[in-house]
Every structure is written in C-alpha cells, then in structure tokens.
Chain A
Amino acid sequence: MPLLALNNLNVRYGQIVGTSDLSLSLEAGEILALVGSNGAGKSSTLKAILGMAPYRSGKILWQGKDLKGRKPSEIVREGIGFSPEGRRVFASLTVLENLNIGAYSRDANEAAERIEQIYTYFPRLRERSGQRASSLSGGEQQMLAIGRALMSRPKLFLLDEPSLGLAPIVVERIGDILKEIQAREALAVILAEQNANWALALADRAVILELGQKTAEGPSADLLRDPKVQSAYLGI
C-alpha cells in the first residue's frame, strides 16, 4: 500500500479548475516533485491533500484511509506537515513561538527536544530564536516555514514553492539541508516547484502538471533527459 494515493482528483474553485482527474501515488521516504508553471495545479494538489481545497470528485487515500471531509488540523495529526507557498510564517510571533506552533499537535516535552533537532538543521534559526519572524530575511523565513512544518515529525512533508523569490545560493543551501533531513528522517516529500532544474535534481520522481492535468511522470533522471521537458521547463 502506498503512503499516499490520489485517485482522479478534481479540485474546483467555483468554475476555476485546480486539478482535473489527477492521479498519483507516493511511497514512504520518497521525494516527488510536482513541476509546472503558475496555475498548473501544484498548490491545489497540496492543499487538497491537507483538506484546505475543496474537491468535487476523486479520492485522497492516506495509508489506505480516505481523508475526505477531515479538517486540516486533524490531517496534520495524521502525520502530514505543510510549508505553504510564500512561507507565511506567523509574522508577529518569535521564531521560537513559530516552531512551537508547529508542534501544537504534540506534547510539550517532545517539542523541546524537536526544537533542538530543528536548530541543528538550521543553526540560523537558533541565532534568531527570540526575534519576530517578520524581521527575518526571505531565506530565513523559508527555513522557519520548513522547520515549523517538521516540528510535528511528519511522515509526509508538503513543501510548496520553497525557492520563490530567493537568491540561487540560498536555494542551493535549502536544497542541501532538505536532502540531509530527508535522508536522516526517511521523510516522504512532495515538492511543488516552478524551478524544475532544482526540483528534479532533488527528487526521486516527478510529475509534470499543465492546467491541472498530468502531462508526464517518471524518475527525475528520465525527465531531465526528455526533450519535451527540457524545452518546456528546463530552458535547454
């Protein structure tokens, strides 16, 4: 049984199409990249998994269990962590408070231990621990958003557009840390990303989305060599 399976998922916002008949599945410990341009349905897919976007038909199965109708806060408790597009850290809270919110569904002793671990991954966050999140740079906010999502020790991590608006060197750094975390915690990751080069380099497997539909799927290495993918997404 896959960790997560989407079967013919149709996300709709009124008349606007989020995804249409999208099916995909993910094994434990696997990194899957969702690649596509703006409006391709990447965010809609992640939001639907977390119960934040309405879907008209189709199924989302988490370890075989249907997630339909569950609230996001309940789905997080199932072991799914989420770092949203645009980071959306809690601006008026300190770095430490942001991290503690990430562990809201866990007990307090666990949280203290987990924060140490997150600070080891992101030493910059330890230095900024008492500062308001609004005072952080874009890269630091992205680290905080990732750290916050990982506080609950998820089995699956939904990561939406982490490279958005960040300098290439910062993006590389975040990629390295992600790799380290993923290897250490055997975390499954769905990475929704416009930066296809970077996403395919990180992921084991990728799904290419266009207007909510899957147009290609396969191991990242294969997609990197696919001429169509190269011309459309990799700028080759």
Chain B
Amino acid sequence: MLSPIIIGQVIVNGLSLSAIYVLIALGFTLLFGIMRVVNFAHGAFAMLGGYALYYLYGKYALPYPLAVPLAALIVAVLSLVLETLVFRWFYQKMFQSMIGLLGLNMALMFSSVIVWDVYERSIPPAFSGVLRLGGLILAADRLMVIGIAIIALLAFWLFMTKTRYGVAMRATADDVEIAEAQGIDTRTIYRLAFLVAIFMTALAGGLYAQIYALSPFMGERPLIVAFVVVILGGMGSIPGAALGGVILGFTESILSTFYGAAVSSFVSFGVVIALLIFRPWGLLGKPE
C-alpha cells in the first residue's frame, strides 16, 4: 500500500492543501485578532477570488504568474468598499459581527448567483504535467500551488516583521487603545489589515477553485476550513493559523488517501471538538 507513488501523492496533496488552508486561515485570524470580527463572509471572498482568477486567467488568458496575484489584489481593493459600508461598523463587536457578516455572506453568494448563475465552472490548470523525482510522481499544478503559497507567506512574514506598517499592525492587535495613544492611526491600520486579509483569502480562493471547482457556493468549504484551522491553532494567533493549516492539510491528505473523504472529515472535526473541550483556546492561542 505504501508505494512511492502514493507517498509522493500524500505529501504533495498534504502540502498544497496545507498551503491553501494556511492562507485562508491567516486572513480569518488577522480579522479576528486585530478587529475582533468573526468573518462569516470569509468563504464569499474566497469565492470572489475564484471568479477573479477565472476571468483573468481562464478568459482573458493573462500570464499565470501575473493573473494569480492580480486577481487577489482586485478582489481585495474592491472589497474596501465593503469595509467602509459593512465591516467597520462591527469592529471590536464580536457577536454583532457574526450576525452582520453572516448576512453579508448571503448577499455576496446570491448576488453571485444572479451574475454568474449556479453552475460550476472550471479554471484551466496552469500546468498539466507531472514531475518525476526518483520514484515519486508529483503533479505539477499542485507544486505550483505550494510555490505560490510559500511566496505569499514569506512576503506576509516579511511585511509583519520588517516593515513599520506590519509592526504597527501587530501592536494594534496587542492593544488597540494604546497603539492609537502612541501615534498609530488605527483606522488606517484596520483598513490595511483588512486589505491584507482579503488578499490572502482571495488568493487561496483562486487556487482552491482551480483545484476543485468554481461556483457561487464554493465558499462554504473554505469558511469551515477557516473555522477549524483557527480554532485548532488558537483564535487570533498567526503562528496558530500556520500550525493549524498544516495539521488539517496533512490529516485530510493522509486520511482521505487511505480511508476516504468521509473518514477524513469525521476525524478532523472530532479532533476539533475534543480540542474545544480540553483546550478551548487552541494549540497556540491564549486562554482568555
């Protein structure tokens, strides 16, 4: 059963799933950690990322390395309108944000049905070949996903640790009142955090839609993934989102290869429920 082909497949699938999950969960945890909003509309932004990539790459045939970041950027920038109209009213209001953003999720989903209809589309793969590495056979498009995610995560890490806006964002996450009292315009930092969070989510959504399928309802799974990963890692914790994403990605990859997708879902959610009982603040979160 453990042939090199299967091992290679488990690793590459695990890594590419992890990569997408980490990106989705990072966006979710940023919005929660800094603005205290629980983004129930998270999956809808992933879905919009999928449609943006569908148009830029699938329809207008922009070069793939350009289309991927550009699609995410367009979604993120246009979403700033929603930040002004909807999100900012729910900052630091966790419970209200859940209801409000659940509504926004519906609005975005069904607006998409009106615009794009309900049927599934597909985004053509960027590469169709396989890479042979010793005895391993690796799917090239999955490797591409891993590469893009690694670049995005590296850029995110550099931004958060090396730039003054990134450090200000972390300070704001620690203590928003004092950040403002030290001269940080926290309103601007909130908008920036929102932009970064939606960018990563839309980026992940594009990759996700390309691997699976694109439809107005595709956001459901990314939303659940965001919840599971972030609860696993700890709400608002950035390292937690990374750890949670990798754990979920590999668990799913291994279990669904050997035991099927149903078992994989059962175990993933079982672990999360157990965790919520014994360590409700997650692996790397802080008890409140």
A residues bordering B, Cβ < 8 Å?
Answer: 50, 52, 71-73, 76-77, 82, 84, 88, 90-93, 97-98, 100-102, 104-105, 108, 148-149, 152
In the bound assembly, the distance between CA atoms of A92 and B178 in angstroms comes to 14
Cross-chain contact B178 with A90 (CB below 8 angstroms): yes
Cross-chain contact A101 with B185 (CB below 8 angstroms): no
Given contacts A97-B167, A101-B168, A101-B171, contact A88 B178 (CB under 8 A): yes
Say if the beta carbon of B174 comes within 8 Å of chain A.
yes
Given contacts A52-B177, A100-B164, contact A92 B170 (CB under 8 A): yes
* Nearest 4 pairs of A and B residues by beta carbon: A105-B183, A76-B183, A90-B174, A104-B183
Q: How far is the CB of B33 from chain A (nearest CB, A)?
A: 10
In the bound assembly, the distance between CA atoms of A77 and B180 in angstroms comes to 11
Contact partners of B256 in chain A: CB under 8 A: none
Say if the beta carbon of B277 comes within 8 Å of chain A.
no
| CB within 8 Å of A: which B93-136 residues | none
Given contacts A101-B167, A108-B164, contact A73 B184 (CB under 8 A): yes
Contact partners of A98 in chain B: CB under 8 A: 171
Q: Is the interface of B mostly helix, strand, loop or mixed?
A: helix
In the bound assembly, the distance between CA atoms of A108 and B170 in angstroms comes to 18
Contact partners of A84 in chain B: CB under 8 A: 178, 181
Cross-chain contact B167 with A100 (CB below 8 angstroms): yes
Cross-chain contact B174 with A91 (CB below 8 angstroms): yes
User: Of all chain B residues, which has the CB nearest A76?
Assistant: B183
Residue among A77, A91, A97, A98 having the largest count of chain B Cβ atoms under 10 Å: A97
In the bound assembly, the distance between CA atoms of A229 and B174 in angstroms comes to 39
| CB within 8 Å of A: which B163-221 residues | 164, 167-168, 170-171, 173-175, 177-186
Cross-chain contact A71 with B180 (CB below 8 angstroms): yes
User: Of all chain A residues, which has the CB nearest B237?
Assistant: A92
User: Of all chain A residues, which has the CB nearest B177?
Assistant: A52
Q: How far is the CB of B250 from chain A (nearest CB, A)?
A: 27
Cross-chain contact B175 with A90 (CB below 8 angstroms): yes
Cross-chain contact B182 with A93 (CB below 8 angstroms): no
Contact partners of B170 in chain A: CB under 8 A: 90, 92-93, 97
Known: A72-B180, A88-B175, A90-B171. 6 other contacts (CB 8 A): A90-B175, A91-B174, A100-B164, A101-B183, A149-B182, A152-B182
In the bound assembly, the distance between CA atoms of A72 and B183 in angstroms comes to 7
Cross-chain contact A77 with B178 (CB below 8 angstroms): no
In the bound assembly, the distance between CA atoms of A104 and B172 in angstroms comes to 12
Cross-chain contact B181 with A50 (CB below 8 angstroms): yes
In the bound assembly, the distance between CA atoms of A84 and B179 in angstroms comes to 11
Q: How far is the CB of B247 from chain A (nearest CB, A)?
A: 22
In the bound assembly, the distance between CA atoms of A64 and B168 in angstroms comes to 31
In the bound assembly, the distance between CA atoms of A100 and B179 in angstroms comes to 12
Contact partners of A72 in chain B: CB under 8 A: 180-181
Contact partners of A93 in chain B: CB under 8 A: 167, 170-171, 174
Q: How far is the CB of A97 from chain B (nearest CB, A)?
A: 5
Cross-chain contact A73 with B171 (CB below 8 angstroms): no
Cross-chain contact B174 with A104 (CB below 8 angstroms): no
Cross-chain contact B182 with A101 (CB below 8 angstroms): yes
Q: How far is the CB of B287 from chain A (nearest CB, A)?
A: 14
In the bound assembly, the distance between CA atoms of A101 and B174 in angstroms comes to 12
In the bound assembly, the distance between CA atoms of A102 and B182 in angstroms comes to 6
In the bound assembly, the distance between CA atoms of A52 and B182 in angstroms comes to 12
Given contacts A90-B170, A93-B170, A100-B167, contact A73 B175 (CB under 8 A): no
Cross-chain contact A73 with B186 (CB below 8 angstroms): yes
Contact partners of A92 in chain B: CB under 8 A: 170, 173-174
Contact partners of B173 in chain A: CB under 8 A: 92
User: Of all chain B residues, which has the CB nearest A50?
Assistant: B181
8 CB-based A-B contacts, threshold 8 Å: A71-B185, A73-B185, A90-B175, A91-B174, A92-B170, A93-B171, A101-B182, A152-B182
Residue among B170, B174, B179 having the largest count of chain A Cβ atoms under 10 Å: B174
Contact partner, A148, options B167, B177, B182, B186, Cβ 8 Å: B182
Cross-chain contact A82 with B181 (CB below 8 angstroms): yes
Cross-chain contact B180 with A73 (CB below 8 angstroms): yes
Q: How far is the CB of B143 from chain A (nearest CB, A)?
A: 34
Q: How far is the CB of B158 from chain A (nearest CB, A)?
A: 14
Residue among B167, B173, B175, B178 having the largest count of chain A Cβ atoms under 10 Å: B178
Given contacts A90-B175, A93-B174, contact A104 B168 (CB under 8 A): yes
Cross-chain contact A52 with B164 (CB below 8 angstroms): no
Contact partners of A73 in chain B: CB under 8 A: 180-181, 183-186
Cross-chain contact B182 with A82 (CB below 8 angstroms): yes
Contact partners of B175 in chain A: CB under 8 A: 88, 90
